[in-house]
Structure 1
Amino acid sequence: MNSTNEYGLSISGTVSAYPKESVLEVDPYVEAGLRESILPGVVAATTKTAREGVKLLADLVESYGSAEGNVIMLADQKEAWVFEVYSGHLWAAKKMPADKVAVFGNQFMIETLDRTDTENVMFHEDLFNIADQHNWTQKVNGKVHIASTFGEAREDYSNMRTWMGHRLLAPSSVGEYKTDRYYPFFYSPDKKVSALEVMDVLRNRYEGTKYDASLPENKDLRVIGVERQSQIHLTSSPPVRKA
């Protein structure tokens, strides 16, 4: 579901993502908990900014639990945030740099979090402690890597789409596809990205690569632009409502 309210806040909650089984054994989903079908509407109806939306989501997930793993994007006139739900109650959020882009499949993408940077990151207060207690913690260059700590291993279904988005918007900074590579979440595009180029990303079927979906040997690959997509959204925050 996607929602935009009169204050210029837009929320997209259509990305399901999946944690490690060991994470769910410790903190299982809550069957009667929150789902992507209602989260964007609740946020849009009750908050005015992306930061307020993140705080509300955090409170809702911790209080009522989540019924599924999710990656939720929130944006207003001033900033954008990504909010990831890893299990029944564990979550983390990170502010998106204004000069970066991001394209990703159904997988958790937050890499590292500076625990002291309260302006740009938020997370469940026990996120790191619980990971350490259960030996989930994975580090890259000495820093906890959130996606590999809580998320399932990379696989072609999602990771190939993440790579292809990078290849379309920043071909100079990505090489050939590798299944197990953790591609960067936020990165600089090679040039300014237009709305038409965003549409090109959303319809892409790996044209121009050896994975081209029109080739018989690739008929089972999960591409970005699939025939069963019932809705495609390009959202732009409207002018802020004046008091």
Structure 2
Amino acid sequence: MACTTILVGKKATYNGSTMISRNDDNPTGSFAVKKFKVVEPNEQPREYHSVISHCTIALPDDPMRYTAVPNVNPEAKGIWAAAGINSANVAMTATETLTTNQRVLAADPLVVYQEATDTTSEQIGGIGEEDIVVLVLPYIHSAREGVKRLGMLLEQYGTYENNGIAFADHDEVWYLETVGGHHWIARKLPDDCYTVIANQFSLDEFDLDDATGEQKEFMASADIVEFINQNHLNLSKGQFNARLAFGSHSDSDHIYNTPRVWYGQRYFNRQDPTWTNDGLLTGPESDVLPWCRQPDHLITVEDVKYVQSSTYQGTPYSVYSKSAQANIYRSIGVNRTSFLGVAELRNDVPREVSCIQWIAFASNVYNALVPIYTNCTKVPEYIGNTTLQVNTNNFYWANRLIGAIADPHHDTTIVSVERYQEALESACRQVINEGEKSFQSNCDAIEFCNAQNQKIVDLVQKYTDRLLNEVLFTSSCLMQNSYSRSDN
């Protein structure tokens, strides 16, 4: 999936939380219909069957409750749980589709499903984006544990695609990237840093000694050093650079991937005087942008949403500009986003109410980010009742319609959209602030979260219905077959 990931350490955020975020973008010409869901332990399978790869995996008998954003129609391509937070307050988002190179794929080929033929038997595939959240999130009690469990599954079953997966708990953020069919590496994000990742193998400087030793900040497949040496993958003259060894170096990266990283780093490090529009080191086609950086300012949820919605605004590459360079790069905020998820694990409130999964559906340019407490057992209808058919009584389709109606008249409708985003997100934060003032640790936390979520979603439906009315009226007035003369 063509996604963008943003991760933020606890010393780089405005409130000391850890944050992991991902745009779940669909391939061109495809729109996955999504909903928000709470998966109870009795709903979690004990034997998992993959739709795409046909693999079968036995699961532990002690799953935890967790949230997810699955496809509405799992029979088509599987569950695709995408992102969530479990009852141990561990968050996960999967996956960032990555690129790699021919040497890696030759040394450790992807495990791709093959149908049986007259002369060959069926070849079962490995695990992939369809499966990973369901296989990992219900069973882990820390971000580090998430890396280890996923690494074990990758080594045992392999994968049919190159992916990056993020994990967070209240203290740490970890990011894992697959290397070929069965290998992987992972790095802990420094607490005072952020990273922006865009469909490209991104980890750069990597401490192999730590990864194969104490594993304080790095982890990897047990045989990673042997794998690198046997296949001559190390291209570095000094410290090992994983991106050089495992990543791609194609011209298409400069159009599709690196510009998104450039724009995100340009936003979070605005005071950096070296940013240029065309420089080989700091421009949108740079091959050497660092994996992580310390931001100029503490990062908020709104900052993450802004970058995840960006269309290169403020640069000649903006898709809505009249510049000759408009739309030459793949933007972050595109039409085929199915949802945006931001997991915020807060450290300044009681643990029972500390985890919020912010969600938005459809194109981020025209939607708003909504906070949902994940220590809950009930899902408000408006975010959980998505149908396969278009229906304005759910948040997914309302947002999909708003984006499609507003985009042809962007300059006119964006005023209403921006007012909606500010008003709704402010109102939701007010519900959080006022509710948590009265929360006591001896209260029923789950009932509190259920009630808070319903209050928030009631506001979401009210404000979203109003915006849909506004953009529909405005765009109807601007139709090409309009005529100014009237009978009254």
| TM-aligned CA deviation for residue 26 of structure 1 | 1.7
In the alignment, is residue 43 of structure 1 matched against residue 157 of structure 2? no
In the alignment, is residue 129 of structure 1 matched against residue 226 of structure 2? yes
Say which of 232, 235, 240 aligns to 1:144: 240
Deviates further, 79-88 or 151-160: 151-160
The equivalent of 2:435 in structure 1 is none
Q: CA RMSD in A?
A: 1.8
Q: Give the aligned residue type for 1:201.
A: V
Say which of 150, 156, 170 aligns to 2:255: 156
- Give ranges in structure 1 of 5+ residues lacking alignment: none
The equivalent of 2:147 in structure 1 is 54
In the alignment, is residue 26 of structure 1 matched against residue 26 of structure 2? no
| TM-aligned CA deviation for residue 220 of structure 1 | 4.5
Say which of 327, 335, 344 aligns to 1:219: 327
- Give ranges in structure 2 of 5+ residues lacking alignment: 1-81, 113-124, 277-282, 353-374, 376-440, 442-488
In the alignment, is residue 76 of structure 1 matched against residue 169 of structure 2? yes
Deviation track 1:116-173 (CA, whole Å, cap 9, x = no partner) reads 3321111112223322322221216x11100111111142210000111000111234
In the alignment, is residue 179 of structure 1 matched against residue 285 of structure 2? yes
Mapped contact 1:205–1:225 kept (Cα < 8 A):
yes
Say which of 221, 224, 229 aligns to 2:337: 229
Q: Give the aligned residue type for 2:190.
A: P
| Structure 1 residues 178 and 202: CA distance shift in structure 2, 3 A | closer
The equivalent of 1:197 in structure 2 is 303
| TM-aligned CA deviation for residue 94 of structure 1 | 0.6
Q: Give the aligned residue type for 1:104.
A: I
Q: Give the aligned residue type for 2:342.
A: L
| Structure 1 residues 206 and 178: CA distance shift in structure 2, 3 A | closer
The equivalent of 2:201 in structure 1 is 108
Partner Cα distance (1:116, 1:137) in 2: 15
Mapped contact 2:208–2:225 kept (Cα < 8 A):
no
| TM-aligned CA deviation for residue 206 of structure 1 | 0.3
Report sequence identity in percent: 28
Deviates further, 146-155 or 93-102: 146-155
Mapped contact 1:4–1:237 kept (Cα < 8 A):
no
Partner Cα distance (2:172, 2:164) in 1: 17
Say which of 69, 85, 90 aligns to 2:183: 90
SS of 2:96's equivalent in the other structure is strand
Mapped contact 2:169–2:345 kept (Cα < 8 A):
yes
The equivalent of 2:266 in structure 1 is 167
In the alignment, is residue 13 of structure 1 matched against residue 94 of structure 2? yes
Mapped contact 1:3–1:41 kept (Cα < 8 A):
no
| TM-aligned CA deviation for residue 22 of structure 1 | 2.1
Q: Give the aligned residue type for 1:144.
A: F
Mapped contact 2:255–2:328 kept (Cα < 8 A):
no
In the alignment, is residue 188 of structure 1 matched against residue 285 of structure 2? no
Kindly indicate whether structure 1 or structure 2 has the higher relative contact order, using CA contacts under 8 Å at least 6 residues apart.
1
The list of structure 1 runs, each at least 4 consecutive aligned residues, that deviate by more than 3 angstroms after superposition, is none
Partner Cα distance (1:132, 1:120) in 2: 22
Partner Cα distance (2:247, 2:87) in 1: 35
| TM-aligned CA deviation for residue 180 of structure 1 | 4.0
| TM-aligned CA deviation for residue 210 of structure 1 | 1.8
The equivalent of 1:64 in structure 2 is 157
Deviates further, 123-132 or 153-162: 123-132
| TM-aligned CA deviation for residue 178 of structure 1 | 4.7
Mapped contact 2:158–2:181 kept (Cα < 8 A):
yes
Deviation track 1:191-232 (CA, whole Å, cap 9, x = no partner) reads 011111111011000011121112364335210000110101
Deviation track 1:43-76 (CA, whole Å, cap 9, x = no partner) reads 1111111111111011000011011101100001
Deviates further, 217-226 or 30-39: 217-226
Mapped contact 2:92–2:168 kept (Cα < 8 A):
yes
SS of 2:234's equivalent in the other structure is coil
